[in-house]
Amino acid sequence: MRFMLLQNYGPVGSDCAPMTEWSPEDVKAHIDFQHALNQELLNRGELVDAQGLAGPDQAKFVVSDGVGAPVVTDGPFPESKELLAGYRLVDVETLDRALEIAAQASAAPGQNGAPIRDSIEVRQVLGAPDPEL
Amino acid sequence: VSEAATGRPGGPGTEARLRRLAPQVLGAVARRYGDFAAAEDAVQEALLAAATAWPADGPPDNPLGWLVRVASRRMADRYRSEEARRRREDLAASWSLAPPDPAPGRDDSLILMFLCCHPALTPASAIPLTLRAVGGLTTREIAAAFLVPEATMAQRISRAKAKLAATGAHFTLPSGEERPERLRSVLHVLYLLFNEGYATSSGPDLARSDLSGEAIRLTRALRAALPDDPEVAGLLALMVLTEARRPARTGPGGELVPLAEQDRSRWSRPLIAEGVALITDALQRGRMGEYQAQAAIAAVHDQARRYEETNWPQIVALYGRLERMTGNPMVTLNRAVAVAMVDGPSAGLELLAGLEDRLGDHHRLHAVRAHLLEQSGDPKSAITEFKAAAERATNRRERDYLTLQAARLI
């Protein structure tokens, strides 16, 4: 089963300051944690992909009717906190395992090393049809 | 087969030959060193070396001997290092106590299948290990088929081998009393492997469709080793009878075409003939097992020239037997569809009534109920059920199909 674990820019459970206001040591600890988690998922044969996305300031929204020139909207956006920050795509045996990984990711170290308690959205990726039996 | 696809250089001829030789080489090396996990890695390396050397220099006079020699050299290199010596000491306890197998060669594929499909492994680990160790596929091919990075798949396989070593399983055929359960486990893994490939047959999922071909090849090898086992024959029959319908199962856009609407002229006649012969022979051998029952159902469908000519009473009877054997609520669901064809949609709907508790809120239950409601002249309720099914579907094609059905009735 494949799951997308999605992370938004929204407020985090720990209410800590944005990362740009952390000490360099805290930032490094956070990044190291992400790398270590990805390595752990790879070693377990579960990692499909993990990516961080460029900041919301660089986001663009495109709308088109397929005929005229598309309308491209640049940031900044008032709703930028709802934008996607990054994702992990994992291939696991059960939903419980996906939730366990999400919990691990949510508890990443934040400011002063306290768990950041980010809210991770867990979504199953539509797979191949089940056996016909 | 290109190098980019397999991760091994060399043409399709070399490729097929290496896949055939893989289990024999692994059998010989694993038996000699008593270390299955390391032997499996060494054989992978030897196969890669052969794929480079053989097309360039011409194949050796004794291909099997060549591969065993190269793989053994890799094993020796491995044991020479300090780390490997420690590894050998650790492994000695679990592997080296196995007595040398007195019947090498012919049974190696069989021993490997029993080992790789060990009940201690989940199917998600047993399948890639079987594909590599018995099927001779490269890690890259397996990773591509399962749409994960090569490094992830390599880890999954080595973890499976570590787990296997921890169970203390030996490179020998399972003992008599253990054997039926171990064979069930092998059949289950091959069945899931087949479905993995059969479910997807076009578009971005194309690479996966090779998996059902691999499942058939491995099941043929299993049948060659156990020609008198009716369930092995039943599983092979089920696979070829299902594979026969593949060309008609998806439309030009990859959309699902249900059995009732398939163009039966596109079904493979040779595969149907083979499957019917296999299942007919198996059924004469005694008690019917669940793969035989499923194959018999597939054979009834495949032998109907038109959907309307399907022998539904026979299908009802076969699902009834399968239901008693397995107690699987999915089988009851299928029986309800067949019952509706014989006794009308309300008889089918009645059967569904008791299924909710056992199946839960499964999309298939909603989908079948939707079809039966439509047949009974209640399109409004059918739409609700098609929508409920689409919302709960966990795969794209089924969701697309169900959404389309709801839209068709509105």
Identify the residue whose tokens are 């006649």.
B269
Residue B200: what pLDDT? 59
Task: Please state which of the ranges B255-259, B282-286, B378-382 shows the lowest mean pLDDT.
Answer: B255-259
pLDDT tops 50 at residue B214: yes
C-beta atoms of B330 and A49 within 8 A: no
Model confidence at B199, pLDDT cuts 50, 70, 90, reads: low
Q: Which residues of B touch A130 (CB under 8 A)?
A: 195, 199, 364, 394-395
Cβ atoms within 10 Å, residue B173: 17
B152 closest CB neighbour out of A47, A93, A128: A47
Residue B183: what pLDDT? 96
- Separation of alpha carbons B410 and A77, rounded Å: 39
Residue B264: what pLDDT? 97
pLDDT in tens, A115-128: 999 999 999 998 76
Contacts of B57 (CB under 8 A, 6+ apart): none
Q: What is the mean pLDDT of residues B234-252?
A: 93
B155 closest CB neighbour out of A43, A124, A133: A43
Identify the residue whose tokens are 């055939």.
B20
Residue B198: what pLDDT? 76
Q: Kindly state whether B391 is in contact with chain A, defined as any CB-CB distance less than 8 angstroms.
A: no
pLDDT tops 60 at residue B204: no
C-beta atoms of A126 and B393 within 8 A: yes
pLDDT in tens, B355-365: 988 888 889 99
Q: Which residues of A touch B325 (CB under 8 A)?
A: none
The mean pLDDT value of chain B amounts to 88
* Helix B123-133 vs helix B179-198: crossing angle, to nearest 10: 90
- Separation of alpha carbons B330 and A18, rounded Å: 50
Q: Say if CB B121 and CB B160 are below 8 A apart.
A: yes
C-beta atoms of A133 and B256 within 8 A: no
Model confidence at B257, pLDDT cuts 50, 70, 90, reads: confident
Task: Please state which of the ranges A96-100, B177-181, B277-281 shows the lowest mean pLDDT.
Answer: B177-181
Tokens encoding A125 = 């990726």
Cβ atoms within 10 Å, residue B401: 20
Q: Which residues of A touch B334 (CB under 8 A)?
A: 133
C-beta atoms of A130 and B152 within 8 A: no
pLDDT tops 60 at residue B337: yes
Contacts of B94 (CB under 8 A, 6+ apart): B165, B166, B168
C-beta atoms of B199 and A46 within 8 A: no
Residue B161: what pLDDT? 95
Tokens encoding B1 = 């087969």
Residue B205: what pLDDT? 52
Best CA proximity match to A133, nearest among B382, B341, B199, B205: B199
pLDDT in tens, B133-183: 999 999 998 998 888 899 999 999 999 999 999 998 888 889 889 999 999
Contacts of B352 (CB under 8 A, 6+ apart): B333, B336, B365, B368, B369, B372
Tokens encoding B402 = 């169900």
Specify the length of chain B in residues. Answer: 410
- Separation of alpha carbons B94 and B170, rounded Å: 8
- Shortest distance, CA A100 to any CA of chain B (angstroms): 18
- Shortest distance, CA B398 to any CA of chain A (angstroms): 7
| Single-letter amino acid, residue B281 | D
Considering only residues B376 and B287, tell me which one the structure prediction assigns the higher pLDDT: B376
Residue A82: what pLDDT? 79
| SS3 annotation, B305-344 | CCHHHCCHHHHHHHHHHHHHHHCCHHHHHHHHHHHHHHHC
C-beta atoms of B149 and A49 within 8 A: yes
A45 closest CB neighbour out of B155, B330, B334: B155
pLDDT in tens, B97-118: 343 444 445 678 899 999 999 9
Best CA proximity match to B112, nearest among B215, B222, B212, B15: B222
Residue B106: what pLDDT? 60
Residue B208: what pLDDT? 63
Residue B25: what pLDDT? 95
Identify the residue whose tokens are 């491209």.
A72
Residue A133: what pLDDT? 40
pLDDT in tens, B49-68: 999 999 888 889 999 999 99
pLDDT in tens, B72-93: 999 988 888 756 666 666 665 4
H helices, E strands: number in chain B: 22, 0
- Shortest distance, CA B154 to any CA of chain A (angstroms): 7
Residue B407: what pLDDT? 94
Considering only residues B402 and A133, tell me which one the structure prediction assigns the higher pLDDT: B402
- Shortest distance, CA A125 to any CA of chain B (angstroms): 8
- Separation of alpha carbons B184 and B340, rounded Å: 32
Residue B172: what pLDDT? 86
Q: What is the mean pLDDT of residues B25-33?
A: 91
pLDDT tops 70 at residue B395: yes
- Interface ipTM: 0.82
- Separation of alpha carbons B221 and B225, rounded Å: 6
Residue B403: what pLDDT? 93
pLDDT in tens, A45-94: 999 999 999 888 888 999 999 999 999 998 777 777 778 999 999 999 99
The distance in angstroms from the start CA to the end CA of chain B is 47
pLDDT tops 50 at residue B340: yes
Residue A14: what pLDDT? 78
Q: Kindly state whether B108 is in contact with chain A, defined as any CB-CB distance less than 8 angstroms.
A: no
- Shortest distance, CA A12 to any CA of chain B (angstroms): 30
A46 closest CB neighbour out of B152, B192, B205: B152
Rounded percentage of chain B residues whose pLDDT exceeds 70 = 88
Q: Kindly state whether B351 is in contact with chain A, defined as any CB-CB distance less than 8 angstroms.
A: no
Tokens encoding B394 = 């966990």
Q: Bridge-partner residues for A2, per DSSP? A: A91
